[in-house]
Structure 1
Amino acid sequence: MAPPRTPPLFITLSLLCILSLIFFYLYSTSTIPPPPNFKTDFSQDRIKVYVSPLPRSLNYGLLQKYWALSSNTRIGSQVDNEIRKKISPKQSLKSLPFPENPIIKQYSAEYWILGDLLTPEHLKGDSFAKRVSDSREADVIFVPFFAALSAELQLVVDKGVFRKRVETNEDYVRQRMVIDSVKKTEAWRKSGGRDHVFVLTDPVAMWHVKDEIAPAILLVVDFGGWYRLDTKTSNGSSSDSMIHHTQVSLLKDVIVPYTHLLPRLHLFENRKRPTLLYFKGAKHRHRGGLIREKLWDLLIDEPGVIMEEGFPNATGKEQSIKGMRSSQFCLHPAGDTPTSCRLFDAVQSLCIPVIVSDNVELPFEGMVDYSEFSVFVAVSDALKPDWLVSHLRSYSRKQKDRFRRNMATVQPVFQYDNGHLGGVGPIPPGGAVNHIWRKVHQKLPLIREAITRERRKPQGVSVPLRCHCI
């Protein structure tokens, strides 16, 4: 009998290749991806940042001005009035803390971003931003203006002139100082400001000069203070406060998180949550926030639902901690703008966010998948009687536990605080500041393309801004 024939070599090799591909596919589709806060090697392709040389009066000097106030009567300022008693007049500007008043603290991104950039390179650790001393070497130009603090300081000192372009409006004067300073630089002339980065977390920050910085990279909490009707569609109303939709875009701008106000609850600390749905805040809001009042009336008498009206003072903070940590879901309707710091407080409290806003933009999309730990509800559905509560009750315990586990992995992503006095020091490698710079880095090719396109235009030719939609 003839011996069995050996398969040709090419058939054997083909079978091995096919088996390898099958094993690779099975392995890759079953492996759980690393959490978004995993430690990353930022030694390669770090973004190079030049810090525009603004006077200290426009950043840390504003902190000094704030703490030098004899007192602050705005809501939530009790804690800052106590801190004022402990601050020495001779204290270094860079060691001044950011205000703890919740109304102001939620806009502290500018403080932590600048603190990272001012940290000596040998101490920066895993920071994704590398500061350079020559603007010609930089990918972007960071403008170190504490715009949110400037606006809030004016509202403390004299709210009556805040919307007016007058010399007594110190915030307006500071805005003009910033714009006049950066526009004189060679870097601005080369790019038309397209590679300049402004932090505008407060919706009213740099209110009077928004049209002049529209081409720049804007770090905003959402487009609520910008994305409004064009003048032509405003029914003849005054255009003084109208911001054209062409001035902001997901292609060039970065949505950043509010600073959370509530402390982090770790997954192992989680306890029973007897309340189905919790909300604490103001019932009456403007613009898109009108939905909140309608939801309030629908839900106020629902069993298992707690709707509390309150403000972010010391008492309100303790109530929010207790309410969010004992509730399964936390309601997040639009306010004056589509988002608020309440969303990030819910994440830190492991309370599953219920986002009721058809036009919401969220930080770090593409890096963070909010559907893994949040419930998104259309406004039309939320306003149906009994619909929302029934929908939330349909989630199984297993589903809610999975939401909380996923939430625990992203809690560090929204952390700004680095634990260093004055904010200058190594930052959390998987925290908010690094994610912001990574997002800016992703946009560099489009920014460079826009700069190149602008340079080749014939002199005197004006090309209107266009809406870039995603």
Structure 2
Amino acid sequence: MADRSIHVLGLRCRKPLFLFFGFVALLFAFSWFYFFGFAAGRAPIVGRSVLPSSKILSVVESTGGAEMELAGHQDRQHERCDPERARLKVFMYDLPAEFHFGLLGWTPKGDGVWPDIKEEKIPDYPGGLNLQHSIEYWLTLDLLSSRFGDRRGPCIAVRVMDSREADVVFVPFFSSLSYNRHSKVTPPMKESTNKMLQNKLVQFLVSQEEWKRSGGRDHVVMAHHPKQHA
């Protein structure tokens, strides 16, 4: 039977691949030391002064982002909301309370449909997993406060009272809360409160001049739930 071993540098080895990779590793190590000038009697090709200091890098990583964020935050604190400079003008329907804060137990006073968010306590949104579906709640509060003269910070979107000046029309229906809390049919009712509110909302919208003018193309209805149908 033929001897399959090979002779390399006077050694018998049955694993030629091992010797090959060993030779490559030695060559790589030699070139590394030579490149940085560690070989005796040679100046480094690339000086260490060219490379960034590890200490500098660690300081930049730990403080650079924080300083930029702090500076931006301080600038925004001194800036006031200027409705004329807002990027988006939003017309928001004055829907009855049953479509929004009424779902959180709030009762309107007189003919009002909105809570006085400067004077009275705003109903809290339910906690836990419900918070991930609370976008309608926060957008409504943001628009209600967008016209406050003492509001600090830039305002990206402001509420306008004339729909002809608006870029979009926002429908303040807390649809996620309605779906999550009121989808079950309670006897003797034949349909759920959620379904009833959706039907009433559709009837309201199609009767509005804003809807007729655009066919609803500029209307925004939030429905933040994977199984929700608005």
Interval containing the TM-score (normalised by the shorter chain):
0.5 to 0.7
Displacement of 1:168: 2.2
Is the alpha carbon distance of 1:127 and 1:169 closer, same or farther for their aligned partners in structure 2, counting shifts above 3 Å? Answer: same
Taking only the aligned residue pairs, the percentage that are identical comes to 33
- CA distance in structure 2 between the aligned counterparts of 1:202 and 1:112, rounded to whole angstroms: 16
Deviations 1:83-137 (A, max 9, x none): xxxxxxxxx986211111x221211111111111111421333221111111111
1:63 equivalenced with 2:104 (yes/no): yes
Paired position in structure 2 for 1:143: 171
Give the TM-score of the pair, scaled to structure 2: 0.54
Q: Is the 8 A contact 1:167 1:173 kept in 2?
A: no
Aligned to 2:19: none
One-letter amino acid of the structure 2 residue matched with residue 122 of structure 1? G
TM normalised by structure 1 equals 0.27
Give the equivalent residue in structure 2 for 1:121: 148
Does 1:169 pair with 2:210? no
| Structure number, greater radius of gyration | 2
Aligned counterparts of 1:173 and 1:62: Cα–Cα separation in 2: 13
For 1:188, which of 192, 198, 211 is the aligned residue? 211
Q: Which runs of 5+ in 1 are unaligned?
A: 1-31, 66-91, 210-470
Q: Distance in 2 between matches of 1:38 and 1:188?
A: 40
| CA-CA distance at 1:189 after TM superposition | 0.9
Please report the RMSD computed on the Cα atoms of aligned residues, expressed in angstroms: 2.9
Q: Which amino acid aligns with 2:200?
A: M
After TM superposition, the runs of 4+ consecutive aligned structure 1 residues lying more than 6 A away are none
Q: What is the correspondence of 1:354-369 to structure 2 with a 5 Å cutoff?
A: none
Corresponding residue of 1:200: 223
Paired residues, number: 141
The residue that corresponds to 2:92 in the other structure is 51
Structure 2 gap ranges (5+): 1-63, 107-118
Letter aligned with residue 151 of structure 2? K
User: Shift of residue 190 of structure 1?
Assistant: 1.1
Structure 1 residues 123 and 109: alpha-carbon distance in aligned structure 2, compared to 1, 3 A threshold: farther
Evaluate the alpha carbon distance shift between residue 94 and residue 52 of structure 1 in structure 2; reply closer, same or farther with a 3 A threshold: farther
Contact 1:52–1:182 under 8 Å retained in 2: no
Task: Select the residue among 91, 109, 120 that pairs with 2:135.
Answer: 109
Q: Measure the CA separation in 1 of the matches of 2:72 and 2:221.
A: 28
| 1:95 match: secondary structure | coil
1:256-279 alpha-carbon deviations (Å, 9 max, x no partner): xxxxxxxxxxxxxxxxxxxxxxxx
Instruction: Determine the structure 2 residue equivalent to 1:98.
Output: 125
Q: Distance in 1 between matches of 2:140 and 2:161?
A: 15
